Amino acid sequence: MPPKEKVSKVRIEDTAFEMTREYGFSEVTARKLAERLGCSTQPIFRAYENMDELREDLFYMSTDYFIQTMLSKKGRSPAYMSLALSYIEFARQEKNLFELIASVDDFGTQTITEFLKTDEGDRLLAKIAGDGILPDKKKDLFLMFWMFVHGMAALIAGNRVQFTDREVRGYITKAYEGFLSV
């Protein structure tokens, strides 16, 4: 009789990630995850002390996925519109991942101001504002704009508002132009 196949931590993470995308992390229980994996809960708790540890790993996986999605979007102009629409599109299409990323518990990740000091933050700032804007002004502009766009994305993802793409573009343009004049 051949030995049972071991369930790897990577397979647990990948399966939990897909379940989170489909149903939200609150629906990912050890029992449901084990059922999807076709095993008992034992391999899950061998890989993770508890479900909170798994949730933390899923948070980071979701954040990485989100960042790659945001940075890969091209073709829309102006750049600030591209980033804002990509973020809102992510919130619409990946509501469950967005909910996990936007949760209050950030597992000690960087603040937005810390992120802006990284290479990825520099690339984002370079995309969002044109030449002639001083670096400190770019950061202020990004922070104000990000708070606005994040609020809009959260409202859309939570089905609190229903905006057409045209309405979203209009609000984003007004906000950006208003923040530029501050």
pLDDT along the chain (182 residues), means of 10: 73 96 93 96 95 91 86 70 87 92 70 81 72 78 89 93 94 90 79
Output b/e per residue, 60-77; b: 16+ Cβ within 10 A. Answer: ebbbebbeebbeeeeeee
Phi, psi of 161 (to 5 degrees): -140, 155
pLDDT score recorded for residue 61: 93
pLDDT score recorded for residue 142: 84
pLDDT score recorded for residue 51: 93
pLDDT score recorded for residue 35: 96
DSSP letter at 109 equals P
pLDDT score recorded for residue 106: 60
Domain 1-48 has CATH 1.10.10: yes
Domain boundaries, the chain: 1-48, 63-180
